[in-house]
Structure 1
Amino acid sequence: MGSEEGENADSLERFCPTDEEIEKWMCSAFEMARDALENGEVPVGCLMVYKDEVVGRGRNEVNETKNATRHAEMVSLDQVLDWCRHSNLDTKSVCEQTVLYVTVEPCIMCAAALRLVNIPVVTYGCRNERFGGCGSVLDVSSADLPHTGTTFKCVSGHRAEEAVEMLKTFYKQENPNAPKPKPRKD
């Protein structure tokens, strides 16, 4: 193993959350997901924790903002960037020491963003069988992708059944933001 790989392994070990930490932070992420559901969004909630402090939190805001990129992870990451600016801290250093907690496996877009900013650990609830970027569809988290940041460790399955039930509840509803069907011209 090369020295860079060894340093990455040491870094991952330092930032592996305990079961108690996972429960604490995932509880807050699920509160964010419930808020998303109550506001007509896909129920995904996310926290980014740096040195035991929440520096970013988000829930899906796609329908609310009419912006398909406003996933919980992206909202949370934007808050981390703002927090770093206001705290006069180096974003790269902060991200390399931040653990992300999210109720559903990050999609490919979000996993790529997390990799680019060098988040070392992502803890999530259920798998995302349609868009998952941590192994369900594509494994952005550990794939050999040159010039795309550092791989990250995934800790999956925490309260997965609860996350799935929330998703089922959302998808049973009608989406008022869905485009209206257009009559066919034959």
Structure 2
Amino acid sequence: MPDASRGGAVSATDERFMRAALHAARQAQARGEVPIGAVVVMDGAIAGAGCNQPIGTNDPTAHAEVVAIRDAAQRTGNYRLTGATLYVTIEPCQMCVGAMVHARIARLVFGAPEPKAGAVESTQRAHEHPTLNHRIEVAGHVLEAECRSVLQAFFRERRE
């Protein structure tokens, strides 16, 4: 289990909601998309969910995080998701971090790091840019091995 030094305390609740994000990732995989899933949690319940779908929608912004934020905003009737936690199976890119800031996501919990495009710890700390008017608490490496395994299996299968 990740320790607090890597971005905050992690609980059994975090693991439960990360498993929901993993379920969404498997839905993406079934559609031939890169298996990344996300859920937005508000008041202890899933307010929105999404899986990666840029290929099927011809929308380069249809990352799992953005889809989940859109779903939560529609369900709540508010684009500001104040107090929400976003769970995602991989470290978000810069675009997704920007969407989280605009949606006022309070906390981000991610699974596997993304060494090429991850914008929370791997390539930069986009959520800490001094010009931002909102801060996001981050906890990482939750169910990291399982999140990484889903991605690795997908790409291994594609290479065969």
TM-score by length of 1: 0.76
Matches of residues 26-175 of structure 1 in structure 2 within 5 Å?
26-85=18-77, 90-92=78-80, 95-144=81-130, 146=131, 148-174=132-158
Deviation of 1:168 (Å): 1.4
* Percentage of pairs with the same residue: 25
Pairwise CA distance, 1:149:
3.4
Provide the secondary structure at the position in 1 that maps to 2:121: coil
| Higher gyration radius (CA) | 1
Structure 1: tracts of 5 or more residues without a match: 1-15, 176-186
Q: 1:17 to 1:50 in 2, by over 3 A?
A: farther
Amino acid at match of 2:128: S
Following TM superposition, by how much is the alpha carbon of 1:18 offset from its aligned partner in structure 2, in angstroms? Answer: 5.7
Distance apart, 1:99 and its partner CA: 0.5
Give the drift of 1:174: 3.6
Find the counterpart in structure 2 of residue 183 from structure 1. none
Report the Cα distance in structure 1 between the residues aligned to 2:42 and 2:25, rounded to whole angstroms: 20
Residue 30 of structure 1: how far off its partner (Å): 0.7
Amino acid at match of 1:130: K
Once superposed, what is the RMSD of the aligned Cα atoms? 1.8
Q: Point out 4+ residue stretches in structure 1 off by more than 6 angstroms.
A: none
Does the Cα contact within 8 Å between 1:118 and 1:149 map onto a contact in 2? no
Residue identity matched to 1:65:
T
